[in-house]
Structure 1
Amino acid sequence: MPETFDRVVIGGGAIGLPSAWQLARRGERVLLLERFAPGHARGASHGATRNMNNAYEEPHYLDLYDEALGLWRELEASSGQRLLTLCGLVTHGDPGPVGRAHAALQRRGAAVELIEAGEAERRWPGMRFDGGVLVNRDAGRVHAAAALRAFASEAVREGAELRYGHRVVSIEQRGDRVAVTAVADSGDELRVEALGAVVAAGAWSRQLLADSIALPPLTVTEEHPAHFSVLPRVVEPGAEKAWPSFNHFLAGAAESRRGNVYGMLTPGEGVKVGFHMTGDVVDPDARPFRASDAARAELRAYVAEWFPGLDPDSAEEISCTYTSTASGRFVLDSAGLVTAGAGFSGHGFKFAPAIGRVLADASLGIASPPEAFRIPAH
């Protein structure tokens, strides 16, 4: 006989865990199934830090950011863990997106200012800047690994059951139930029935949802940011703690492999710098976990040009997957009893608690996801 729950969540990363937390805190009997071990490095959610970045012009992202900020604070209070460091965010480069983000944030009364490059370089001598610099004070970084642990512990405290080492092999809608079959690392088969399922499987979303939801095209790439050591002759010892998170919108990035640039300080590891969405398309089950020599050289050259406070020869490479839609927008939608969250890679982590709320509401039929993130009707 299958085990029965109110809701089953598939995927135990930055989207699945907050979805389980949100469902469990409403009294739902929740089972979360994750293919790998906690904190695994096979997907997009591992690592110590992520940008807490509100340099957006679109209202649907800014609304989600504001909600997420409040929910991060709730999670900090309930878990007793510090999950955010709002050390500021600086965004520079192409004046079009920089100016539009500044205007959108000003209209919302956000804590922002636009300063000249020279002033920014006096404040942060470890960096160089291009054009006007948008400074966001209510932004910075998320302590990502700690956040995953907090989501998991709070979901369990609210009554959710988390089972790792369970690979889901099928999802079927059968009348008023969803039937999920998984295979454990031991080889044992698990069958579960629930009133609804939330699927947040990252790079494995398309194969799991092929029979449930007509997802837009999703591209899985392997990205390779790196941590670089701070040079004490440029940045005084201790001053690196005030290093802001950053975006560099490179003119023409959409037409080149260089892409835009993002990063943040990771205490104890250095400053993380990466090109956004420039990696090779991969099979998530057969990826090299290594950047090409050309990609490594290009990142080194970028750091040498734009970061006088970093040692460009000190790169400690990271490997992660992006799962992206053509527009870069998230997919948050339901079909019958199955609710899907996909296409987050590269800029989803900071929104995680709000996305979990959206997916929980959609699964329970309380509210539909924002129109901007729904799959267009054919």
Structure 2
Amino acid sequence: MAGPSSDASDYVVVGAGLAGAATAWQLAARGHQVTLLERDVPAAHDGSSHGSARIFRYAYPDPFYTRAVLDSKALWDGLATEAGAELITPFGAVDYGPKRNPALLAEVLAAAGIDHELVSAAEARGRWPQIAFDTKVLWHPGAGVIDAETSVNAMVALAVRYGAKVLTGWSLDRVERLGGGYRLHSSTGETLDAGNMVISAGGWLPRLLESLPLPAGFLAGLPDFTVRQEQAFHFRYREDSGFSATNWPTFIHKAGDIQTYGLPGGRDAGFAGQKVAEYNGGPGIPSAAEQTGVVDPANRARVVDYVRRCLPGLDPEPYAETTCLFTNTPTEDFLIDRADNLTVVSPCSGHGAKFAPLIGQWAADLATGTGAVPDRFRSTASPALTT
């Protein structure tokens, strides 16, 4: 636990979720003096990086993101080797629905040289009868499931191996300028001095921005962040279906009335079923501090109805349910930007987990001035939705 401190670090990273842990790891590996601050514990249950089930996929309508996944996968492989742990389990993925445009996704994957197939709905139903496909289906076998909590802990451990300090139970209250750097104040009166800061606070970011000494022009140029208390439900595999976690792919389905995603639920719910959610289906909240952890009955009813109609391989009554945080930008692009020597990182909109090591690399490059990040992640907004 953190205690009263007058310590100073060259770089202080605030937030030990996937992005913050990756940034601390990258900075420490380059030989910088790093302190990682976390209001609770790494991959905390009330944050955005807890649990064992996040989708890893290559399929995007925007070639930029598909190329970025390729870059990220190389870093994931290196991280897994260095950490000595399996972080991504392969399951493959299916994308379908009249608004998902599987044919366009296939074109993007073909241009990037990524293994895939575009199959008819009838052929797909023959391969995966547990899913009621309504359009052509994109299948790409290289997709899988990220163990988010294990990944966070692996990156934190590597950061510590390279000399970083980790302070848990350290809730940032406000920041003041101190000479050429910053003094951070915790909610319990502790202080820590930093030459440079990286803020990667997930759903706490919108509220925290108010307390950061950032130029007014920079703040005015940031996107409007919205935070949702996303709802996720776990459904058991039907005993008579012959299917289990070993032969269920991950999926994204965009239909007219609902956009859903699903994946094997992992240890989050005892490996007994599929995790299914409506994308951005939960209620909006001002920031993570206002989350209740209470599941919205209307959202549960929509997802249960969807499972009953569209996923015949599942028992349509959830055996477990949870909430998590989605922090969104209007374009669904990330924010990785810097003013003075303070870097703000928000790899958000529900699709950032797969890029975690790459986001850490981008953030470390920007924070140290040794490299750039894609222009679309700076405070000038990107024009196109991504997912």
Fold match, TM over 0.5?
yes
Deviation for aligned residue 1:162: 1.0
Deviation for aligned residue 1:95: 5.5
Query: Match for residue 274 of structure 1?
Result: 277
Query: Match for residue 228 of structure 1?
Result: 235
Query: Match for residue 299 of structure 2?
Result: 295
Question: Quick one: structure 1 residues 317 and 308, their matched pair in 2 at CA, closer, same or farther if it must change by over 3 Å?
Answer: same
Query: Match for residue 190 of structure 2?
Result: 190
2:163 to 143, 153, 159: 159
Query: Match for residue 48 of structure 1?
Result: 52
Structure 2 residue 65 is matched with structure 1 residue 58: no
Give the counterpart letter for 2:371 in structure 1: A
Question: Does structure 1 retain, via aligned residues, the 8 Å contact 2:196–2:367?
Answer: yes
Q: Structure 2, unaligned stretches of length 5 or more? A: 382-387
Pairing 1:287-326 to 2, within 5 Å after superposition: 287-326=291-330
In 1, distance between residues paired with 2:372 and 2:325? Answer: 28
Pairing 1:107-186 to 2, within 5 Å after superposition: 107-183=111-187
1:243 to 238, 242, 248: 248
Deviation for aligned residue 1:118: 1.6
Pairing 1:198-237 to 2, within 5 Å after superposition: 198-210=198-210, 211-212=213-214, 213-214=218-219, 215-236=222-243
In 2, distance between residues paired with 1:161 and 1:151? Answer: 13
In 1, distance between residues paired with 2:346 and 2:93? Answer: 26
Give the counterpart letter for 1:216 in structure 2: P
Secondary structure of 1:81's partner?
A: coil
Secondary structure of 1:372's partner?
A: helix
Question: Does structure 2 retain, via aligned residues, the 8 Å contact 1:173–1:337?
Answer: no
Structure 2 residue 354 is matched with structure 1 residue 374: no
Give the counterpart letter for 2:76 in structure 1: W
In 2, distance between residues paired with 1:201 and 1:292? Answer: 25
In 2, distance between residues paired with 1:206 and 1:172? Answer: 18
Secondary structure of 1:313's partner?
A: strand
Give the counterpart letter for 1:277 in structure 2: N
In 1, distance between residues paired with 2:336 and 2:42? Answer: 24
Secondary structure of 1:285's partner?
A: helix
Question: Does structure 1 retain, via aligned residues, the 8 Å contact 2:99–2:255?
Answer: no
TM-score by length of structure 1 reads 0.92
Secondary structure of 1:225's partner?
A: strand
Give the counterpart letter for 1:134 in structure 2: L
TM-score by length of structure 2 reads 0.90
Deviation for aligned residue 1:175: 4.2
In 2, distance between residues paired with 1:173 and 1:353? Answer: 30
In 2, distance between residues paired with 1:229 and 1:235? Answer: 12
Secondary structure of 2:316's partner?
A: coil
Question: Does structure 1 retain, via aligned residues, the 8 Å contact 2:281–2:299?
Answer: no
Query: Match for residue 17 of structure 2?
Result: 13
In 1, distance between residues paired with 2:58 and 2:96? Answer: 13
CA RMSD of superposed structures (Å)? 1.7
In 2, distance between residues paired with 1:228 and 1:305? Answer: 14
Question: Does structure 2 retain, via aligned residues, the 8 Å contact 1:230–1:310?
Answer: yes
Kindly, what percent of the aligned residue pairs are identical?
Answer: 33
2:73 to 69, 77, 82: 69
Q: Structure 1, unaligned stretches of length 5 or more? A: none
Query: Match for residue 264 of structure 1?
Result: 263
Secondary structure of 1:221's partner?
A: strand
Query: Match for residue 384 of structure 2?
Result: none
In 2, distance between residues paired with 1:264 and 1:217? Answer: 29
Deviation for aligned residue 1:295: 1.4
In 2, distance between residues paired with 1:222 and 1:12? Answer: 19
Query: Match for residue 289 of structure 2?
Result: 285
Q: C-alpha deviations, 1:20-61, integer Å up to 9, x for none?
A: 001010001100111112332212111211000221122331
In 2, distance between residues paired with 1:108 and 1:67? Answer: 12
Secondary structure of 2:289's partner?
A: coil
Give the counterpart letter for 2:16 in structure 1: G
In 2, distance between residues paired with 1:343 and 1:277? Answer: 15
Query: Match for residue 385 of structure 2?
Result: none
Query: Match for residue 338 of structure 2?
Result: 334
Deviation for aligned residue 1:343: 5.1
